[in-house]
A and B are shown apart, each in its own frame.
Chain A
Amino acid sequence: MLKDLGYASTLTAFLVSLYSITAAAVGKKQKRADWIESARRGLQLLFPLISVAVGALLLLILGDHFEIAYVYSVSSLELPVYLKAAALWGGQEGSLLFWVWCMAAFTSAAVRRHRFEINFQAVFVLITASTLAFFLLIVTFFDNPFDSLWQLADGSTAAAFLQPSFSLPVIPANGQGMNPLLRHPGMIFHPPMQYLGFVSYVIPFGFAMAALITGQVDNRWIRLSRKWSLAAWLFLSLGLVLGARWAYDVLGWGGYWGWDPVETAALMPWLTGTAFLHSIYVQEKRAMLRRWNFVLITLTYLLVLFGTFISRSGIISSVHAFASSTVAILFFGFISLTAVFVLLMLYRHWNELSSENAVQSLLSREVLFLLNNAVFTGIALVCLWGVLFPVISETFTGQKVTVGPSYYESATGPLWVVVLLLMGIAPLTVFFRTSVSRLRTMILFPAAGSAVVLAILLLSGMRSAAALIGFTVLAFTTLVTLAEFWRSIHIRLSRGETIPQALKRTFSRNRRRYGGYLIHLGIILMAVGILGIELFQQDTQQTLKPGETLALGRYIVRYDDISFYETSGGIQQAKAEVTVSTNSRSAGVYLPRRDYYPSWGQSVTVPAIRSTLQDDLYIRLIDWGETKAEGVTLKLYLNPLFNFLWLGTGVLVLGTLAAAGPLFGRKEEKGKEPHACVSTD
């Protein structure tokens, strides 16, 4: 019953999306506003329809309906409720349905919230409905989450929606369950956040294409896209960070980012998306970089599709990949068509997009933003090359190679430094022309401050060039950004405002700028954390008898005991007890352990982590004997400054919220005509 309801919903949704496409196309051609309006309503209908399907699937999972192939493959009786709910996106079919659901939610909100010019609306509906139709096609006819399990005449099991001839229904008593590595709170937050990030880029993409095709290439589509692209960027950033934290917690190698192809493919749209956020600011202020903006947003969207393609097609091997060859062909076709379409549209309208203004001076904010675009795009292309190279190598030479972190780090490292430097110089410049004397004045303090920092580092013995450059540039950028805040607060204080008032008004008067600076501070903190772990991580491994110690950096770890448990869920645990001390003072007892899942034949390392702002001590249980006396093998990692990464993320979120402002329209717009109706939500 539930499965029929779910399938009926996705099928209906697919048909409705086809209707929307047709109605929008016909309406635009015939210039019939009522058709276009109908298309819009069709698009809005998709969200409730797909919600029914999602609800049905969720109930099927929670109800342990293992006769449904998908439920069997991702869930099992002993999973706690929160993991069963997360199983919704645990496998290929469910995650596709979830993806479509998010996309429908966003497109619904977009057409509801904004009143578009009629042609613009037609194209926007056409584009978004086409994308939804494609994914619904896959979910309805190819990777159907509502397929049941059947036993065929020859004894094999097959999954299909309708009963094949000469088959019997199969109702397994228990499901395969969830891969042990996925049984972590990260499973609840990381995939949805990642999908939200990817999916929400379809909205600004739709705005861009609608603007391009209807010739409304002025700032209107930019103003529409602003908050959407900021939200998309925030979701994507959080998705990446949550993935990193999850990897750190469960993968046991003391790291957080492995440059796995799917990880890298998720980073690429973030790079172009970040450039886009900055670049649209220039278009708003100076009507420049319009071509860049179209290219950046379409590139971001194509990279999102590309990322989905490689994680679902199995052409590149990765821990993240689902593999399905039918879907792969469809994705390939869809990406190709979209890419060709985008290219042709850009070509056709390229001349309309030339800037109204030209660069007056090299020392201007426009030029720096242009550089920013170029560097971010450069990093993205370097990453793309790294992701594709194994495929290219195998095609041309038959020899498979692996492109590991060393490539990405050395190739993108210098570019990241340039980005951070730009982040520090750009606030010192203005549009049109920055006078040299002004620049000199403003750069004085930050430059001096960072020189002092450099001196301190050198004096304390640091010799790593990468670290010296990195921290000096970060110091410079920090001081510039803090100075910006200081200037505004200082003036307000001198006018008699209180500190809280000054802070609040600084933000509310120029939300985007100071929110942006706060985000920059967040990024700086994250960079500090990344520099710490990347350049200064230490590790050591040793076998210890009870009472023996292992030293690493400022820590001494002593092995005390080991015990063995079996949980009620059948998980076999080996739990070691170690005492950590630093500076001859005990810092606590920690319990690194290994969980073995007999039904999967797989074990998961659960490290013990001692986190301080100064560093992380990461303790991993590698091996042990039968008895306590035989000793254990421990591996220790020392990750200096690592927690700045999470701290920085928090600041980044705060900054984004500050920059975004009220979610639903502005209460008062001084002298600006509203670009969107205030929603009645």
Chain B
Amino acid sequence: MPDTPILLRERQYHQLKAVLARLRMDSVARVVFLVDKDGQEIAVQGEIGNLDTTSLASLAAGNVAATGGMAELIGEKEFPTLSHEGERESIHISVIGRLLLIVVFDERSSLGLVKLRSKQVSHQLLAMIDEITQADFSDEVSPFAGITDEDIDSLFK
């Protein structure tokens, strides 16, 4: 079955950002992202500057999907972590449930430290993600329930 939509409340968003901020500090990373496996950026912390975070999220998801496909072909469930080391900048990706934790770091940090710190927050993030994805909104009226055809048409004028 396809995954259910992710509805992220303000409180949850700020909680996730706080965890990412701490991870970024502890791992001496440049940027820390949380992205879903379909490539949607959930939250980001760090020195973003001109970094195209939307494209990076999409490509990271494609990367994990492709290596996950390879894992299946050789009889593995998935590869839970991926690392790409460049001359100056590097990326570490951990699969946490249906989300990906992406850490971009440079020579101020090291792969070992990033791996360690990412692993340390993974349980906390997993619990938060479960809370987000399992929340029951059935009693709430969706803000989109009242969207009219005119609202939709207005987007294309």
The yes or no verdict on A and B being binding partners is no
